[in-house]
Structure 1
Amino acid sequence: MRIYYITSGYRRPIDMLDNAAMKALVSRNPETRFFLLNRSPIQHLIPEIEEFAPDLVLTLCGPKSHLPVDLIHRIRRMGIQTAVWFTDDPYAIDNASLVAAAYDVVFTIDSGCIPFYERMGCKRVFHLPLGTDPDVFRPFVTHPTYQSDVCFVGTGYQNRITFMEEMLRHVNRDVKVQLIGHFWESLNISDGCMPNIRKKWVNTSETVRYYNGAKVVLNIHRSHDDAFLDKNKTGVPGYSINNRTFDIAACNAFQLIDYRPDLDQCYTLGEEIISFSSPKECADLIHASVYDPSTQTEIAQKAYDRTLQNHTFTNRLDQMLTYLTSHE
């Protein structure tokens, strides 16, 4: 299959997903050509597609990026199949709703979004989670400055702030907690554990160091109707786990994750991954993991093995291409 891949044109962190997708495509499908939307004039897009004559035009859409609908229609009129992978569902699904129906096939990272796209008139909608790039997210010994008992890397959205304030009240003061990302300075902690806060966005290479340096990596999803982004006005639910889940596991790091309905479709609960449903339960699990780490190594190893077997970007592109060829 000749594939023409159009990048999102969006910078961090979506460019990391673009890079991983392009690498996976080439490994599985050498007849792939790329169009870098943020580096090439869009006027060159149609002539390049006409010259290459692909079987499939595929693009990845982040929270603020999408191709103009008229270009999608022009590509389809050439008799070329078009597919889009929405990577910020359901948080920015309002943006996706502007263009989704123009494509032949829609891939969404969250199963809770499928009914939404079907109501919009999308005929072929498929749930395809993101994956991880094991060349980037991998285990290694990191510098002591990145070491902690517990770390969380990510933006301090309101639901995470509220959760963390309650959780830290139940965490012992001797537990070393690191929070890395924007907005954590607004935490209101009067008792309990006082975290170390790094108030900035960190790049992928530093994120991997923090994952490898922590005894426990927290994974707290943002709310499906987060007010900061405010791009899910119809309240489409979030059922699926984020790609951070796979990235942490690919580092052979032990993670605690808030429960989502699709979690046990990817990992065996209690054996490959541990979930929590409240701040107090999370604090109790932190204590058990930090003070008695005998079981966490085995769980992390099982999650690591499962991830490399089933949850890489190469796995996802295999699933995508299998779907596209079997539903033509």
Structure 2
Amino acid sequence: MSNNFVLPTPPLPLTPAEEEKLRGRLTGFKTGYDEGYLRGRLAILHGRPEEPLPVRDIHVMYVASGKGYPYSPLDEAAVAALQKLTTRVTVTDVRQNLVELAGADHPDLVIVLDGMDLPLEQINVLRGSGIRTAIWLTDDPYYTDFTLKIVLHYDYVFTLERNCIDFYKGLGCQQVHYLPFGVHREHYHPTTTRSPIQRDISFIGSAYWNRVNFFREILPDLMQYNTVINGIWWDRLPEAPQYGERIEIGKWMSPQETALAYSGSKIVINLHRSHIDEDVNNNSLGIKAVSPNPRTFEIAASGTLQLCDARDDMGNFYKPGEEIETFASPKEMMDKIRFYLTHEEERQEIVLRAYERTLKEHTYTKRLNQLLTIIYG
């Protein structure tokens, strides 16, 4: 890809002050041209309709987690996909009496998101009445001490962590399938006009201790750029007060706010949480996480370059070096930041390839179609 922008040759002679002023103007023209070119290409891809998928003549009861934000956007995405893929969807949550609802509405399939707070006897009654049941686990492997107690109550178990498949099968589950989350295009998409946010680097996420320790090592170098960190618990970072509003503390961002920040950033860092964290995890077996988190797909769908810590299963979703960039250390991350902030064409090539693949393969419509295909063939 080449945007064929050529800086004009300035007239000579110029004073040093005139040269500096002209150089600044030309750099501004080039930056604006590059951004316009990228957003134009993204707009073309964004305008393409999603591949049509078969509509199954089934009635699905979808059971939301009932936990509110940040789970509610996942519910919105799943429901929107199911409404495209089935003839009828009934939406409820774990606080309702599913047995009574099923007795009145007669669903063919009950899909439960998370399911941590759902009374298991209700699932047992539904299964006993011949209704198929499925659970889509949202936080594997971080809470497997809890999920191991509920998975055997379902006909189908879907997990977003590849390393949990054998774990659940070992418990006696007959139908365990790998189904990572995806992206809901109504939530995450590029800003196709000039972005109101202009950042070099963004990180959005909670301050788990592995993230705090990682960033502390390179924070002075990282913050030399126009870098902004958003999320909860960043008061754990002792240096945070030095950077004022550039390190935001204690705020959950909506998907729309997050997508806007992603799209207005040249680079977005994706640093996964650790499977070992005694403060917040309930993973006493220490099951290692190797699969990409939902942010992997959300960042790619927002039209920006993603720098992600290397995970074993990443290559099954994006090609490192072509559709995503990975790092194994803080130093490698900083080296790649320096490279891509000075090599705009290479950055844009990766952005466009990642966005195109995301639209083709990693939407919630594709994920829910995969779930229904597993159950119904």
Cα-to-partner distance string for 1:248-267 (whole Å, 9 max, x where unaligned): 11111111000111100001
- Identify the residue that residue 26 of structure 1 maps to in structure 2: 83
The 2-side partners of 1:48 and 1:189 are apart by 52
Does the CA-based 8 Å contact 2:291-2:312 persist in structure 1?
Answer: yes
CA contact (8 A) 2:152 2:172 kept: yes
Partner of 2:324: 273
Counterpart contact for 2:195–2:263, Cα < 8 Å: no
Determine the structure 1 residue equivalent to 2:168: 117
Radius of gyration: which is bigger? 2
Tell me the distance in 2 between the aligned counterparts of 1:229 and 1:151: 24
Gaps of 5+ in 1: none
Per the TM alignment, residue 2 of structure 1 is displaced from its structure 2 partner at its CA by 2.1
Q: Do 1:217 and 1:254's aligned partners in 2 also have CA atoms closer than 8 Å?
A: yes
Separation of aligned partners in 2, 1:257 and 1:230: 22
Contact 2:94 2:117 (8 Å CA) reproduced? no
Matches within 5 A, 1:87-126: 87-126=138-177
1:168–1:283 CA contact under 8 A, matched in 2? no
User: What is the letter of the counterpart of residue 260 of structure 1?
Assistant: R
Which residue in the other structure is 1:155 paired with?
A: 206
Which runs of no fewer than 5 residues in structure 2 stay unpaired? 1-57
Whole-Å Cα distance in 1 between the matches of residues 234 and 194 of structure 2?
Answer: 24
Whether 1:183 aligns to 2:236 is no
Q: Deviation per CA, 1:128-153, whole angstroms, max 9, x where unpaired?
A: 00010012101114654x32111100
CA RMSD of aligned residues (A): 1.9
Query: How far apart are residue 210 of structure 1 and its match?
Result: 0.9
Q: Does 1:317 align with 2:374?
A: no
TM-score when normalising by structure 1? 0.92
TM-score by length of 2: 0.80
Distance 1:227 1:36 in 2: 30
C-alpha contact 2:163 2:288 (8 A) present in aligned 1? yes
State the secondary structure of the residue aligned to 1:30.
Answer: strand
1:11 corresponds in structure 2 to 68
Name the structure 2 match of 1:55: 108
Cα distance in 2 for partners of 1:81, 1:212 equals 40
Q: Per the alignment, in what secondary structure is the counterpart of residue 163 of structure 2? A: helix
Counterpart code for 1:36: D
Distance in structure 2 (CA, Å) of the matches to 1:110 and 1:29: 26
Q: CA deviation at 1:228?
A: 2.7
Q: CA deviation at 1:222?
A: 0.1
Paired residues, number: 317
Task: Specify the code of the residue in structure 2 equivalent to 1:225.
Answer: I
How far 1:169 sits from its partner (Å)?
4.5
The question of whether the paired residues in 2 share the 8 Å contact of 1:154 and 1:180 is answered with yes
Question: 1:3-42: per-residue Cα shift (whole Å, max 9, x none)?
Answer: 111111111111100110000000111222121345xxx2
Shift of 1:52: 1.9
Tell me the percent identity: 38
Whole-Å Cα distance in 1 between the matches of residues 276 and 117 of structure 2? 21
SS in 2 for 1:115: helix
Asked whether the equivalents of residues 177 and 195 of structure 1 are also in contact (C-alpha less than 8 Å), the reply is: no
Q: Which residue of 1 aligns with 2:267?
A: 216
Instruction: Confirm or deny: 8 A CA contact 1:168 1:193 kept in the other structure.
Output: no
Contact kept? 2:94, 2:118, Cα under 8 Å: no
Using a 3 Å threshold, how does the CA distance of structure 1 residues 117 and 49 change in structure 2: closer, same or farther? same
Does 1:264 find its partner at 2:315? Answer: yes
Identify the match of residue 238 of structure 1 among 289, 300, 304: 289
Match of 2:90, SS? Answer: strand
